[in-house]
């Protein structure tokens, strides 16, 4: 049996997130990328990314195909820095948005954009983000980023 389409998309997203490094021109080097992680990250894991699908919306087109939206949340965490946490989060979010718009074979921030996950989908859309901060003994800040992957399949197909 083939791999479900959503899993194929998530595998590509994970590969792209792993390319966030200062060597590729990003603000940060991500130390850990996880899919649907429930356990909080440790300080030595930061900066770290966790991502998961939220839902899949489907509607049938007039041509008998299914138009689908896969909604995805990406959270990226790091320790707080000497700058305002909002400035750090803006850099974190910038890294994620750019990385997800770069092919794994050309992941640098200066490489051409690739907004269809290498031809897997029709369009990958950044829909917004929220700021998050944790205080106390181990302060951190995070960006909670939302994306929508739009794709077309044969009606009622998952593979």
94: CATH: 3.30.70.1700
pLDDT in the model for residue 82: 86
**Neighbour count for residue 121 (Cβ, 10 Å):** 20
pLDDT in the model for residue 139: 82
Q: Where are the alpha helices (DSSP H) in the chain?
A: 5-17, 85-99
Task: Label residue 107 by pLDDT band (50, 70, 90).
Answer: very high
Confidence (pTM): 0.95
pLDDT in the model for residue 136: 72
In-domain check, residue 24 = yes
In-domain check, residue 40 = yes
Assess whether pLDDT exceeds 90 at residue 10. Answer: yes
- The three-state secondary structure class of 26 is coil
In-domain check, residue 159 = no
In-domain check, residue 144 = yes
In-domain check, residue 28 = yes
Contacts of 61 (CB under 8 A, 6+ apart): 67, 152
Average pLDDT over all residues of the chain: 94
Assess whether pLDDT exceeds 80 at residue 143. Answer: yes
pLDDT in tens, 13-59: 999 999 999 999 999 999 999 999 999 888 899 999 999 999 999 99
Residue 146: domain span = 5-154
**Neighbour count for residue 149 (Cβ, 10 Å):** 26
In-domain check, residue 108 = yes
How many domains does the chain divide into? 1
pLDDT in the model for residue 43: 84
In-domain check, residue 139 = yes
């Amino acid at each position: 049996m083939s791999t479900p389409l959503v899993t194929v998309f998530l595998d590509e997203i994970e590969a792209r997130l792993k390319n966030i490094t200062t060597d590729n021109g990003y603000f940060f080097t991500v130390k850990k990328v996880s899919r649907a992680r429930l356990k909080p990250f440790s300080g030595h894991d930061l900066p770290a990314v966790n991502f998961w699908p939220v839902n899949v919306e489907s509607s049938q087109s007039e041509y008998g195909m299914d138009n689908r939206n896969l909604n995805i949340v990406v959270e990226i965490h790091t320790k707080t820095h000497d700058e305002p946490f909002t400035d750090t989060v803006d850099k974190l979010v910038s890294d994620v948005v750019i990385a997800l718009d770069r092919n794994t074979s050309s992941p640098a921030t200066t490489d051409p954009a690739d907004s269809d996950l290498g031809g897997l989908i029709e369009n990958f859309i950044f829909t917004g983000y929220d700021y998050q901060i944790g205080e106390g003994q181990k302060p951190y800040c995070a960006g909670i980023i939302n994306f929508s992957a739009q794709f077309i399949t044969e009606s009622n197909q998952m593979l």
